[in-house]
Chain A
Amino acid sequence: MKRFLITAFILAIFFIIGCQSEPNTKLTFIPVINGKKITCTHDFKFNEQLWRLNSFQFYLSKIKFNGINQTVTYDQSKTDVSHQVALLGTACRGGKNWQLILDNTINKLAELEFELAVPFELNHSNPLSSKAPLNQADMFWTWQLGHKFFRLDMVNQTHVDKNWSFHLGSTGCDSASVMRAPKVPCKNPNRVKFTIKQFDYRKPIYIHLDRLFFNLTLNQKHTCMGDANKESCNLLYENLNKGDLFSQEVREVK
């Protein structure tokens, strides 16, 4: 009897541990403007105007530590999920997620790499049968263009009718109609790679939106929905490709 009890106890411990999550690394993201955190519930100032977030979401993929591919993980209640892509951000009136969990434990400084994008092989598939988070309708254009990799919608609180949006995704995609996927990569993939050389797992990653806005006047005229011929889009792509949108350093500018 004693042997049975001991075996049962050991198995019980085994199952308790089995129900718990594995050790992992959490990447926490914080959007900032001039070093100051921004949220959906408070106005923020940029270039002497007041703004409010309406939606800020983005996909990350091809995440690597010291060149080794990482897998995105979720708690056990989430099934049918993609382990290659993470969706971060908030749609303000809906849910939010600012934390990405990787299934490897990183406990020392490492080089972190990721793409602000959805890989081509996942980007143009049927959103209905796609695994979460690739089934988020407000982050999907069409099968032809695929997903919006980055979506930022802001409301101007100072001037009426001067709201601003930036939706980033692949453009120049050739297919029979908007509901058909391209067979070859799009002319402008618009996937941007970022590197944080000395990533410290204990610190958050700041998203410096003021660096994205560099040299850009924010208003409806300068909204960018991916038009490669639009000056504002080209400026935004240029700012993104500087590679300093994400960093672990932050300094508040008064």
Chain B
Amino acid sequence: MKLLFISILMFFLVACGQNKEHETYQWQIPKDYPKPQVPRDNPMTKAKVKLGRFLFYDKNLSANQTQSCASCHHQKNAFSENRAVSIGSTGQSHRRNALALVNIAYNKTLTWAHPSLDSIERQVLLPMFGETPVEMGITGNENEVLSRFKSVQYQNLFKNAFDDESVNFDKINKALSSFVRRLTSFNSPFDRYAYAMDDNALSVSQIRGMDLFFSERLECHHCHGGFNFTQSTAHEKQLLDRRPFHNTGLYDIDGKGSYPDTDMGLNEITLNKRDMGAFRAPTLRNIALTAPYMHDGSIHTLAEVIDHYAAGGKAIKSVNKRNKNSKNQFRSPFVKGFEINEREKKDLINFLNALTDTSFISDPELSNPFN
């Protein structure tokens, strides 16, 4: 009878309690920073992150064994690629620039322009199985690819991560996602100045640049605000999600705001005219390492990016020449152009350089484990 009594008590205590499933994982983030949201069916564990790291750098994951995830996401470039667009394992060009994998655990949405792709687990499937373009090229070669992960080393890694040494794509996906979720970067000079209150962490020029960045004149922070320098964020303490997309005035091929057929951004998914040329603002953390810029890698340097925004979008000039029409109905109201002198531009670039976290790009725990 006492047992029944205790059982009833326990039942209600548990029913009122919180899920503590992944509380044991030690995030590599500063104290008091909010933790990312993690899906219930893929809680973070050290073992999964370790397996994911091996898989991330293993070319055996591509059908023809020529590429790994790291082929397009280099640690030295904050896990981006220093070319306009990436080229898949079979030589096909991607139409978009490889995004830096920096703090994407905090992204509300993944990839450049998709309003509902909000799970890293689903995003990881695209380079693995996508056919337009082929990236890893696994589709049609599933069994052959899986057969390459039966070594003793991988059996141990899978067993530690999942209590079971069998290999399947669900486990590969969960481990890769866990490693990518682990790619957190919060140790830039800016962090030391803003959050660790070290007044000497930024130079005078960088502080001037920071003040400009957050000014209403330049309006950078309207799209690149918040602790992750993008407004598209979510974390465990955030009550309301945010998933904004912006047209930066990069193209206007007909004087009516149209983007090239090859990439019309969010409009391709929503089919909403208002979403023409709208893309998610990526984080600016480590931005100095992730050139070239914009969704198609069409701008080469930070100085040119500033020129683009100072002009209110570079499409304005080109359209003016052809159509004498400088109005783009889809362009973000925050991209309206601004005056900036050479010293201010230099200050702004110096500030953007202060967002580089050198410990992130040299962290041995994130490097190629096969080296």
Contact = CB atoms under 8 A, between A and B. Distances in A.
A128 B195 contact: yes
B84 interface: no
30 contacts: A4-B2, A4-B4, A8-B4, A15-B12, A16-B12, A18-B12, A18-B16, A52-B274, A79-B18, A81-B239, A91-B242, A93-B243, A93-B245, A97-B239, A126-B32, A126-B195, A128-B227, A131-B237, A132-B237, A132-B238, A133-B239, A137-B226, A137-B228, A137-B233, A138-B244, A160-B328, A178-B210, A178-B211, A179-B210, A220-B333
Contacts of A16: 12
Contacts, number: 132
A14 to B, nearest CB: 8
A95 B241 contact: yes
Interface string A1-42: 100110110011001101100000000000000000000000
A165 interface: yes
Contacts of B9: 8, 11, 15
B241 A94 contact: yes
B271 interface: no
A178 B214 contact: yes
A227 interface: yes
Nearest to A97: B240
A166 to B, nearest CB: 12
Nearest to B336: A220
A102 to B, nearest CB: 17
Interface in A113-147: 126-129, 131-133, 135-138, 140-143
A184 to B, nearest CB: 19
A138 B216 contact: no
Interface string B219-262: 00100011110010101011111111100000000000100000
Contacts of B43: none
Interface in B44-102: none
A93 B240 CA distance: 11
B239 A137 contact: no
A143 B211 CA distance: 11
Contact of B274 (A126, A140, A155, A179): A155
B13 interface: yes
Contacts of B228: 137
A96 B239 CA distance: 10
A191 B12 CA distance: 45
Nearest to B15: A19
Contact of A78 (B195, B239, B336): B239
B68 to A, nearest CB: 33
Contacts of A205: none
Nearest to A135: B237
B216 A91 contact: no
Contact of B32 (A7, A129, A164): A129
A80 interface: yes
A52 B333 CA distance: 13
Given A4-B4, A18-B16, A93-B115, A160 B214 contact: no
Nearest to B213: A178
A232 interface: no
Given A5-B4, A94-B242, 11 more contacts: A5-B1, A15-B16, A91-B240, A95-B239, A135-B235, A136-B239, A137-B225, A138-B242, A161-B331, A164-B333, A225-B216
A53 interface: no
B32 A128 contact: yes
Contacts of B211: 177-178
A223 interface: yes
Contact of B199 (A5, A128, A176): A176
Interface in B178-202: 193-195, 199
B130 interface: no
A164 B243 CA distance: 20
A75 B82 CA distance: 47
Interface string B1-26: 11011001100110110100000000
A129 B225 CA distance: 16
Contacts of B327: 160-161
Contacts of A129: 32-33
A226 interface: yes
B176 interface: no
Interface string A40-81: 000000000000100000000000000000000010101111
A165 B214 contact: no
A207 interface: no
Nearest to B199: A176
A161 B240 contact: no
Nearest to A54: B333
A168 interface: no
Contacts of B195: 126, 128
Interface in B301-360: 327-329, 331, 333, 336
Interface in A144-199: 153, 155, 160-161, 163-165, 176-179
A87 interface: yes
